[in-house]
Amino acid sequence: MTKKLQIDRIEGKFAVMTDDEGICNIPADFFGENAREGNIFEVVFENGKPVRAVFLAEETEAVREKIRKLMAKLRNKK
């Protein structure tokens, strides 16, 4: 099974991952140097355990840009 997950936060040694279905915890070192809040991954699970993750850099940047634009819009509403 493959799921698209985003790192919500790092708690200790775990990345708290979110998607539309909820949350799950995966060891942060599984993601290597890309284990940062907000990063989006395509994670492959086998028998309920993560076996491979692909960092979706373009999608992560697109979401960050969308958030930047929304924040700028909110700041300019004063």
Q: Quick check: 50 pLDDT over 70?
A: yes
Q: Is 56 helix (H, G, I), strand (E, B) or coil?
A: coil
User: Which structure tokens are listed for 72?
Assistant: 């700028």
Closest by Cα among 41, 44, 46, 48 to 16: 41
What pLDDT, in 10s, does the model give residues 7-48? 999 999 999 999 999 999 999 999 999 999 999 999 999 999
Q: Which domains does the chain have, with CATH numbers?
A: 2-75 (2.40.50)
Q: Percent of the chain beyond pLDDT 70?
A: 99
Q: Percent of the chain beyond pLDDT 90?
A: 94
User: Which structure tokens are listed for 39?
Assistant: 């990063």
Q: Which pLDDT belongs to residue 77? A: 75
Pairing of strands 49-55, 14-19: unpaired
